[in-house]
Amino acid sequence: MMHASRLPRIGLALLCAGGLFVWFATRPLPSETAQPGKTFGLQPPAFVRQAYAAPELDIAAKLDEEAGISAYFRSPDAINLNQVRGVFRTIELETADYVLGSVAIPNYVERFDAHVYVHKTGWILAYYLRGDPVSKIIDARATTINTTKLKTAVASVASAAGAPFTDVAYYDFRYPNATNMMFIAEDLGNGNDFTVQLPSAYGYFDRGWALLNFSGDAYFTLNGARQNAIYWDGAGYGSLTASQLLPDITYTIAVDDWGVLVLVYRVP
């Protein structure tokens, strides 16, 4: 099992998510709401498989070449591309069937724009580039793991199209065999640290982290070692190597002021 417990241990709750059992020792404060963990299934959008046998082979090849973590939604209705062009900051590719370009994320600088592909048949897919850390998906400025920046981008395009948006699914083009993505969040008000142990029965593809700088000296530490962060507009994002977070070993993670551990893995 994967274990994650805040220190010191005061209470114990069990969260079962995507076949992964996560134990949390909670220490909630009256005015605080802890966000211990959230898991998402990963599966490829059907249009990517179909595109290899269709005239849009160029789109399938482009996504394979440059896309990393992604979020997508299919409207039950066709999309009028003229209605969504105004949402794009820039348009990179455009045909009678689809538009691909960049869409701004509210409250973030241009560096966080999502790449978005929209097809007239109803598909909307937002992604970050293959070289970006998977944790870039975290909406750190909102200090939440209940949504993501890519979901925000998809919802923005769906709204412009008049599509009845519900929710997104996720897929990482870098790891076609991955089945799940997990977020584990912690903040200074709820104890600021937790322990985590990855079960060796699962396969791990990516380990990342994100944090928000409230105080001017934000950090994400692993067993006391502060990790180097790239900060953009107060939000920091980074990656951990496989050797830094090995299975069946207990690690202590501490954050200041608010941070998230992101795992991409495969359940057998």
- pLDDT tens digits, one per residue of 123-152: 999 999 999 999 999 999 999 999 999 999
Tell me: pLDDT of 228 over 70. yes
Tell me: pLDDT of 6 over 80. no
State the Cα–Cα distance between residues 114 and 200, nearest whole angstrom. Answer: 34
Which tops the pLDDT comparison, 19 or 125? Answer: 125
pLDDT computed for residue 246 by the predictor: 96
> What beta strand segments (E) does 130-229 contain?
138-139, 144-148, 169-172, 180-187, 193-197, 203-212, 219-222, 225-226
Percent of the chain with pLDDT over 90: 68
Which tops the pLDDT comparison, 12 or 232? Answer: 232
What average pLDDT score do residues 155-178 get?
96
- Return phi, psi of residue 4, to 5°: -140, 115
pLDDT band of 29, cuts 50, 70, 90: very low
State the Cα–Cα distance between residues 209 and 173, nearest whole angstrom. Answer: 19
State the Cα–Cα distance between residues 134 and 222, nearest whole angstrom. Answer: 18
Interacting residues of 188 by C-beta distance below 8 A, sequence separation 6+: 214, 255, 256, 257, 258
Which tops the pLDDT comparison, 88 or 37? Answer: 88
pLDDT computed for residue 214 by the predictor: 73
pLDDT computed for residue 36 by the predictor: 58
pLDDT computed for residue 245 by the predictor: 96
pLDDT digits (tens, 9 = 90+) for 179-214: 999 999 998 877 889 999 999 999 999 999 999 877
Q: How many CA atoms lie within 13 A of 50 on its CB side?
A: 6
State the Cα–Cα distance between residues 258 and 146, nearest whole angstrom. Answer: 14
Do the Cβ atoms of 122 and 128 come closer than 8 Å? Answer: no
What average pLDDT score do residues 94-105 get?
95
Q: What is the CATH number of domain 2-41+177-266?
A: 2.60.120
Which residues are registered as beta bridge partners of 256?
Answer: 219
Cα–Cα distance list, 99 to 64, 106, 124, 158, 164 (Å): 17, 21, 10, 13, 19
pLDDT digits (tens, 9 = 90+) for 241-257: 999 999 999 999 999 88
Which tops the pLDDT comparison, 32 or 122? Answer: 122
**Exposed e or buried b for every residue in 106-123, given b needs 16+ CB within 10 A?**
eebeeebbbbbbbbbebb
**Number of H helices and number of E strands within the chain?**
4, 21
Which residues are registered as beta bridge partners of 91?
Answer: 101
Q: Which amino acid is at 176?
A: P
Ranking 53-67, 94-108, 119-133, 176-190 by mean pLDDT, the lowest is 53-67
What average pLDDT score do residues 98-116 get?
95
Helix H or strand E encompassing 78 = none
pLDDT band of 219, cuts 50, 70, 90: confident
Q: Which amino acid is at 134?
A: V
Q: Where are the domains of the chain?
A: 2-41+177-266, 46-172
Percent of the chain with pLDDT over 70: 82
